[in-house]
Amino acid sequence: MVPLKIIVAGAGAWLAIITAAHLSLNVDWNVLLNDRLPINKRKLNVAYIPVT
């Protein structure tokens, strides 16, 4: 039998890895940080589609 301590540690490690991967892959930190700057210091976000 696997000790409970190892199961909890494994689940915790898995949760930490998934959370870190999500924060790294799915969150645009530049946008989040930009939104927190004063309005006169923010970078403008310019939208475009891949046409001329």
Specify the DSSP class assigned to residue 52. -
Which two structure tokens, joined as six digits, stand for 18? Answer: 């998934």
Binding site for another protein (CB under 8 A): 39-40, 44-52
Q: Which is nearer to another protein, 24 or 40 (CB)?
A: 40
What minimum distance in Å lies between the beta carbon of 34 and another protein? 10
What minimum distance in Å lies between the beta carbon of 21 and another protein? 23
Q: Which is nearer to another protein, 26 or 45 (CB)?
A: 45
Which of 28, 23, 20 is closest to 45 using CA atoms? 28
